[in-house]
Structure 1
Amino acid sequence: MYSPTPDDWREANRARWDERVPIHAASDYYDLDAFLAGRDVLRAFEIAEVGDVTGRTLLHLQCHIGLDTLSWARRGAAQVVGLDFSEPAVEVARGLAGSLGLSQERAAFVPSDVYDAAEAVPDSAYDIVYTGTGALNWLPDVPRWAEVAASLVAPGGFLYLAEFHPLTDCLDDETGSTVTYDYFSRDAWVDESPGTYADFDAATVHNRSVEWQHPVGEVVSALAAAGLRIEFLHEHDASLFARYPALVRHADGSYRFPADRPRIPMMYSVKASRPAGG
């Protein structure tokens, strides 16, 4: 249900995520054994759009258990830092880094609220600030997020965001064909659903979550206002999960509408850079 932002939104969300960390770590969805054996979890469009990370420093905001973060290290990043507000998630990420033989200098993980990232991370700026795939919906204040994220982009570096398109949350859940919810709503969405996307049948206690919808224009404008130059905004006709029953899974693991259905954007990506002299 929609409601004004509750005072305990952060505590409720943290309790929910903390409880789900061990469920995710044990799930087939994340398949940590396959990851440790070499499976790359990054999406093809992200790899193409971010480009070569060899020798660069990368900060991953809202990293969860660190699989994406560590995948960038595998692709040659000189240093990766993952940040998440869930301490259990950070502990799992640190364990995975150790299992991969990565030193703390090469792959560090820090527990912190994303709004406090500038004070929590080991360095003041990074070549690449990376975030997305279900991150912004947990934050009530996008301009504040953009200011923090932009402050951590080194001159000549860039922020890269890959996120689920907010249009998908406006359509009916059954068919994905009818506009049902307000695209421009600023209210919080409070939910009490048990389980998790990695295991819908998991027994869970901390089920309350508080989320927000952020129009794409708000996100892009916030990054520009924070001093970054928008290099591109790309919209993608695929999702990472079966958002609607009609979606068809493709060989690359993405989900799309059948060929006889009109397409809509289900994800988007943004690259925003800081000039070398900035």
Structure 2
Amino acid sequence: MNKDDWRGRWREANKASWDERVPIHVGGDFYGVEGFKAGEEHLRPFELEEMGDVSGKDLLHLQCHFGKDTLSWARRGARVTGLDFSAPAIEAARNLASELGVDAEFVRSDVYEAREALGGRTFDVVYTGLGALNWLPDIERWAGVAAGLVRPGGFLYLPEFHPFTNVFGDDDLTVEHDYFHKEEPDVWDEPGTYADLGAETANNITYEWKHTLSDVVTALIQSGLTLEFLHEHDYTLFPRWPILEKTGFDTFKLPENSPRIPLMYSLLARKPR
């Protein structure tokens, strides 16, 4: 691949992949949509503790996919807006909100154009993450956009998969990859989806980027936000390696006698008044 080839194609390739996978995710077992409809709580315990009471707050969920987490915060009393670049995802989110009778707004937009798409509005809470940042080539630009959406006194909350896990291969904890950021993307050609490895799919080319923990934290600080905490967690939401053991609805951990390593992290960064 020529050095600059990805620049004109990454967004449309990634969008085509996500567009195709929306119905697989909505209709499959991985996301537990039927249980969610029945009232199950699918937000992670650490998120509920770290975010605190969101009732009455304006909450924006960037890269919201089909809106399940967005609507989870609405159930907890937030006035929610979800944003995603996939038209099928936004349609599915609106349908899910209607079926549940939950008041929510969903907007189709690339995350880098979020401020324009939202008409310059700002929010008490900007929520994003859990497999979102790896799809973005420019983390500094993302941080600037996200910070611009937070109103004074409000905060950005980010739970995300820990970039340290990217150094390992797919089969076990053998170190195979570089940890540090590189400008060029990793280009994948893989059928199926993390939610259904055997799903038949046609749009299988995707572009992803590695962003270290310091990349993310520094970008947010330089955007004008103040970091209040950074926490690391010893479980993840999918079977990243075959050795992981399922310990809850979407909780996967290393075996009990294994050394613990960080599999996810979460941070909160506030905009000064």
Query: What residue number does 1:91 align with?
Result: 91
**More displaced stretch, 116-125 vs 52-61:** 116-125
Q: Is the 8 A contact 1:81 1:121 kept in 2?
A: no
Q: TM-score, normalised by structure 1?
A: 0.94
Task: Deviation per CA, 1:108-141: give whole Å up to 9, x if none.
Answer: 0000000000011256110000000000000000
Of residues 183-192 and 51-60 in structure 1, the stretch that sits farther from structure 2 once superposed is 183-192
How far residue 185 of structure 1 moved from its aligned partner, in angstroms, is 3.6
The residue aligned with 2:24 is 23
Can you list the C-alpha shifts for 1:10-29, whole angstroms capped at 9, x where unaligned?
Answer: 00000000011111111111
Which range moved further: 111-120 or 166-175? Answer: 166-175
- Asked whether the equivalents of residues 71 and 102 of structure 2 are also in contact (C-alpha less than 8 Å), the reply is no
Amino acid at match of 1:221: T
2:157 corresponds to: 160
**Aligned partners of 2:51 and 2:151: how far apart in 1?**
15
Aligned: 1:148 with 2:149: no
Structure 2 unpaired stretches of 5+? none
Give distance in 2, aligned partners of 1:14 and 1:100.
27
Gaps of 5+ in 1: none
User: How many Å separate the matches in 1 of 2:120 and 2:94?
Assistant: 18
Contact 1:129 1:159 in 2 (8 A): yes
**Cα distance between partner residues in 2 of 1:214 and 1:60:** 20
Within a 5 Å distance, the mapping from 1:49-88 to structure 2 comes to 49-77=50-78, 79-88=79-88
2-structure distance, mates of 1:265, 1:192: 27
CA distance in 1, matches of 2:37, 2:248: 22
244-253 or 59-68, which deviates more = 244-253
Q: What is the distance in 2 between the residues matched to 1:43 and 1:11? A: 31
Match of 1:125 in 2: 122
Aligned match of 1:206 in 203, 213, 225?
Answer: 203
Q: What TM-score results when the alignment is normalised by the length of structure 2?
A: 0.95
Does residue 219 of the first structure (1) align with residue 216 of the second (2)? yes
Q: Does 1:192 align with 2:193?
A: no
Separation in 2 of the partners of 1:74 and 1:223? 28
- 1:138/1:210 contact within 8 Å kept: yes
Q: CA deviation at 1:261?
A: 1.3
Q: Find the aligned partners of 2:108 and 2:154 in 1 and give their Cα distance.
A: 24
Partner residue in 2 for 1:171? 168
Q: Deviations over 1:18-49 (max 9, x none)?
A: 01111111111123222111122111111111
Query: Which stretch shows the higher mean deviation, 134-143 or 259-268?
Result: 259-268
1:236–1:265 Cα contact (<8 Å) kept: yes
Counterpart CA distance in 1 for 2:107 and 2:255 is 42
Compute the RMSD of aligned alpha carbons: 1.6
- Count of residues paired in the alignment: 271
- TM-superposed CA distance for 1:173, in Å, is 1.9
% identical equivalent positions: 56
- Kindly provide the amino acid, as one letter, of the partner of residue 259 in structure 1: E
Q: Detail structure 1 runs of 4+ shifted over 3 Å in the superposition.
A: none
